[in-house]
Structures are given as C-alpha cells and as structure tokens.
C-alpha cells in the first residue's frame, strides 16, 4: 500500500518541500485589523515569548473583497513598510485572497477576455486553464504583493462547497475560453489556481507554503495545505489521516473553541499536523486569552488566561522543537513520495486491526500521534506491531495490541518507535532563531534505527540543484554518546548536537 502511494506521489512530481518557516507556528489575524493592529499583536507575541513564524491577513487588507480587488486598502497605507517591520521580527506574511476579480481591480480589463461567462459576487472568474489569464494574474500579484514582502497566500472560495444550502460559485453550465465547461472547471479550479500562484515563487527561486480550499489529483508537489470552514474536531483529525492516501496535506486549523479544554485539545492536534495554524479571523485577542467571541472582542479576558496561555506556549514550543525532524520528513516526501502524515494502516496493511483506525496517524517514520477531543479523559488505542515509547514518560508499550490510556488535559498520546533516535531542537521563537539548530537527542532503547536529518537553506530552491546535506545520527553504546556524520558540502546553516538522553 505504501509503495503504491509513493509511486503515485512521485508520478505527481514528488511531495512538496515547504520552507522551514512554513512548518513553524501560524496565526491569522482578525479580518478587520489595520496595519497597527497587526504590528501590535506581533509585539505581544514576541514580548510574551509565544513562537510565531507566519502572520496571516484576512480579507480586510484589500480595498474590496467578495469579489476581490487584489489591491491594498486604506487600513494598510504602506504595506511594504509593515512587512519590512515584520520581517525584522522574523515573521512572514500570508495574504488571504480569492480569484473572483472585482471591476475595481487594475487587472479586470485585461482578464475580461480570459474569464468565464458567469460572474461570482459581481467578479470575473479567471480561466486559469488559459496561459494568458495565468500570466496576467500572476504578474500582478507578484508586483503588488510578493515584491513588497508577501511570502504566500491563502486561496479561499475555490471549492464550490456542497455543504451549504446555496452554492455561490459559477454554475456547471458556464463556459470558459479554454474550452472547459463549469463542471470541468470546478474539478480543476483549485489545482490551476495553485499552479498560477506557485509560478510566482518558482520564478523567483523561492519557496512558499500556503492554504487552499480545493485541490485535485496529481497535486502532491504543490506546497499548499487543504482546510475547511467547518469546525468539527473529529473530522479535522480524520482529514489528517486520510489525506495521506491522495498525496495531499490537511490542516486541522484552530478557528473555534467552546471551552479551555476544547482549545487545548485542538491545539494539541494542530501542532502535530502539516500546518500549525491558529485562525483568529473573528476575534481581536488571541484565543488563549479568551475563546468566547463576544467577550474577546469586548476585551473581557478569561480569568484562566494565564494558565491556558502557558499551556499553549509550551505546545507551540514543542512544535518548534520537532521542526528538524518534521522538515526532514518532508524531504523524504519530496524524494521518495512517502507522505509525512499518513494512516497507520499504511505502515502494515496486513494488520486488520489498523484498517479502520481514522483517529491516529504517523508523523514521519518514527512518531505516532493519537489526538483527543474535548470530553475525552482517556481512550483505547491499538498500537502497530513492534514496541513503542511514550514521548512524555519514555514508558514502553507493546505493539500489536490495544492499550487503555488515561489522558488528562496536560498529556498527549504521542509515541516513538522503540530503538529510535529522535532529535529535538531547543525551543525557538521562529525558524530563523539559532536555537533551532541546537539539538538534544533522545535515544530510545538500543537506538539502532538511527536518524537522518537534512540541512539546506530552508528557503530557496537550491535543494533541486543538490545543495543539501544529510546528517546521520547514530548511538555508540560503547562510549555512551551520539555521533553525527555529515555527507554533502552545501554551505548552509548546520545542526549541532549539544546533548543526548538515553532512555533504556
């Protein structure tokens, strides 16, 4: 089964390799924030020591949205200056947008002959199957956004969702200059949209990582993560599990919570996912200070906010500690087609007990994650064959059987394959923090499975030209130490093993 998925992903071009910063912590700001609001919340994160790599701007940054002008609005009078300031703090900027183009947009006239024959929210639907439409759209976005400092996009509303009563998108009966009808375009639109935006960064020798509401087959090489406007936590976990079969990535983004327990459980899930994203599009203060919408926007912060903030901060730090391991899992995805997040059954299809497990998954080749949702104080979990170690306690559990675990709110079910080596970075504030290169290595049992990390620029496409090092970590039982052997001569930031713990 895993080989079939690998071959499909390699046929698609290999799995995507995001920039290192793309695997850090993301935070999307309230829709009506101004540039001052964005800078203020960023300062709060830095002052509070909350890790963050990417700030997402929701629809209010544009002069017109639904449909979109694609032009900066009055709330952001000098976007280049704002993005320069954020860059100085080690932050990337991701812009919400959708493709439907308002008459006020500077590219509306150019696109009119290269769009479908129906409008959506009064805006043109660019025919992204037409090379000229792609060129017009991409060239403008490069000049207006990327050249000013934007690092990527959230491509919304391209899915024609069938979970709503009145689908708002173009009808199946519409037609496009390329010859596609509306039904065909709906199938292809998300993927064509990704390719159009991706061409900007590819042409600049830069990597990007973003979000998209719709994708399709053969999209493994595109660095975009699927998300949903729905809110069900169990379904979000299932999305992480099942997306691995199709070469896609899924984000269980945190955009809603009904209690502190719900918020913590959701963030526990998202820090062990393809994209660690908190989407605060409807609240002005971070959700860990108040998760109730009206109270948050009235600045009525929750009495438990200090405790919750500390819990969330530690979870974000844990995500940052896993970045070297997670990034190397994406390198393997790119090279071998093995999804970095995948169902347990893909590890051992002969084990019938794994066939229906849709609430636990592998992260990389060493780590198993079994998230919980609010209301669960414990769960039964079937572990694949072999022995497994609890990440938090180091306790060994026999695989090939079910175990019952009591799981209070301060605990997660994350397991490491026994006899593995797991490198963890020092807690870093963002991907450019030197602490990310300082490794403490956990050695479980004999450590005989070893570990390989990959080093490169983390941002450019130089890895395609072979500019990448492999770092082989091995446990020497005779000296009781970890040895690191580096192959490759790329002049890139390097990992340093600063210590190790053997867990017998």
Tens of pLDDT along 240-284? 999 999 999 999 999 889 999 999 999 999 999 999 999 999 999
Predicted confidence (pLDDT) per residue in 103-122, tens digit: 999 999 999 999 999 999 99
Q: How far is C-alpha 430 from the chain's CA centre? A: 15
- Residue 165 pLDDT > 80: no
- Residue 167 pLDDT > 80: no
Mean pLDDT (the chain, rounded): 96
- What integer is the mean pLDDT of 205-228? 96
pLDDT at 483: 95
Predicted confidence (pLDDT) per residue in 286-309, tens digit: 999 999 999 999 999 999 999 999
pLDDT at 162: 66
Give the separation between CA 309 and CA 434, rounded to whole angstroms.
Answer: 24
CB 330 within 8 A of CB 15: yes
Phi first, then psi, for residue 314 (nearest 5°) are -65, -35
- Residue 60 pLDDT > 80: yes
pLDDT at 164: 67
The DSSP secondary structure of 8-34, one letter per residue, reads HHHHTTS-----GGGGSEEEEPPTT--
- What integer is the mean pLDDT of 426-451? 97
- Residue 6 pLDDT > 70: yes
- Residue 163 pLDDT > 80: no
pLDDT at 398: 98
CB 319 within 8 A of CB 51: yes
Query: Which tokens in the block code for residue 169?
Result: 């998108």
Q: How far is CA 232 from CA 223, 227, 237, 254, 296, in A?
A: 24, 12, 9, 10, 21
pLDDT at 87: 96
- What integer is the mean pLDDT of 464-470? 96
Domains of the chain by start residue, with CATH: 29-326 (3.20.20.80), 328-417 (2.60.40.1180), 421-503 (2.60.40.1180)
Q: What percent of the chain has pLDDT over 70?
A: 99
Q: β-strands 92-97, 152-155: how paired?
A: parallel
Task: Calculate ∠ Cα 55-157-273, nearest 5°.
Answer: 50
Please list, in sequence order, all residues whose beta carbon lies within 8 angstroms of the beta carbon of residue 303, skipping any fewer than 6 positions away.
none
- Residue 157 pLDDT > 80: yes
Give the separation between CA 188 and CA 129, rounded to whole angstroms.
Answer: 9
pLDDT at 324: 98
Q: Which residues pair with 401 in a beta bridge?
A: 383
- What integer is the mean pLDDT of 403-416? 96
Q: Maximum Cα–Cα distance for the chain, whole Å?
A: 73
- Residue 390 pLDDT > 80: yes
pLDDT at 264: 98
Helix, strand and coil in the chain, % to nearest 5: 30, 25, 45
pLDDT at 145: 98
- What integer is the mean pLDDT of 352-361? 97
pLDDT at 473: 98
Give the separation between CA 91 and CA 433, rounded to whole angstroms.
Answer: 11
């Amino acid at each position: 089964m895993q080989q079939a998925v690998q071959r499909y992903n390699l046929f698609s071009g290999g799995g995507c390799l995001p920039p290192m910063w793309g695997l850090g912590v993301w935070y999307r700001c309230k829709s009506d924030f101004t540039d001052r609001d964005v800078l203020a919340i960023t300062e709060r994160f830095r002052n509070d020591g909350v890790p963050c790599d990417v700030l997402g701007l929701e629809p209010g940054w544009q002069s017109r949205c639904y449909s979109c002008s694609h032009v900066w609005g009055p709330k952001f009078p000098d976007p280049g200056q704002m993005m320069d300031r954020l860059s100085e703090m080690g932050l990337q900027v991701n812009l919400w947008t959708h493709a439907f183009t308002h008459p006020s947009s500077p590219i509306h006239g150019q696109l009119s002959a290269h769009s479908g024959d129906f409008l959506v929210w009064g805006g043109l639907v660019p025919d992204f199957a037409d090379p000229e439409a792609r060129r017009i759209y991409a060239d403008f976005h490069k000049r207006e956004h990327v050249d000013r400092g934007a690092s990527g996009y959230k491509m919304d509303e391209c899915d024609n969702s069938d979970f709503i009563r009145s689908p708002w998108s173009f009808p199946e009966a519409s037609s496009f200059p390329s010859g596609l009808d509306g039904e065909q375009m709906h199938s292809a639109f998300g993927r064509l949209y990704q390719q159009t935006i991706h061409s900007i960064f590819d042409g600049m020798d830069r990597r990007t990582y973003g979000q998209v509401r719709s994708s399709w087959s053969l999209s493994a090489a595109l660095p975009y993560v699927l998300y949903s406007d729905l809110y069900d936590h169990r379904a979000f976990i299932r999305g992480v599990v099942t997306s691995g079969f199709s070469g896609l990535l899924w984000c269980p983004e945190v955009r809603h919570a009904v209690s502190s327990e719900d918020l913590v459980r959701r963030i526990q899930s998202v820090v062990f996912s393809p994209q660690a994203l908190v989407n605060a599009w409807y609240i002005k203060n971070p959700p860990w200070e108040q998760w109730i919408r009206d109270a948050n926007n009235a600045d009525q912060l929750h009495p438990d906010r200090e405790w919750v903030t500390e819990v969330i901060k530690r979870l974000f730090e844990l995500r940052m500690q896993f970045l070297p391991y997670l990034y190397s899992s994406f390198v393997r995805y790119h090279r071998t087609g093995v999804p970095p997040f995948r169902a347990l059954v893909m590890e051992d299809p002969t084990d019938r007990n794994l066939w229906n497990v849709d609430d636990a998954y592998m992260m990389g080749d060493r780590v198993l994650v079994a998230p919980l949702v609010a209301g669960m104080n414990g769960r039964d979990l079937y572990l694949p064959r072999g022995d497994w170690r609890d990440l938090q306690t180091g306790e060994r559990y026999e695989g090939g059987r079910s175990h019952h675990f009591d799981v209070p709110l301060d605990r997660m079910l994350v397991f490491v394959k026994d006899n593995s080596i797991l490198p963890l970075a020092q807690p870093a504030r963002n991907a450019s923090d030197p602490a990310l290169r300082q490794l403490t290595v956990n050695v479980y049992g004999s450590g005989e499975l070893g570990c390989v990390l990959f080093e490169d620029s983390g941002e450019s496409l130089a890895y395609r030209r072979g500019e990448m090092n492999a770092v082989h970590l091995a446990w020497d039982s005779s000296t009781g130490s970890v040895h690191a052997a580096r192959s490759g001569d790329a002049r890139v930031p390097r990992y340093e093993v600063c210590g190790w713990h053997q867990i017998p």
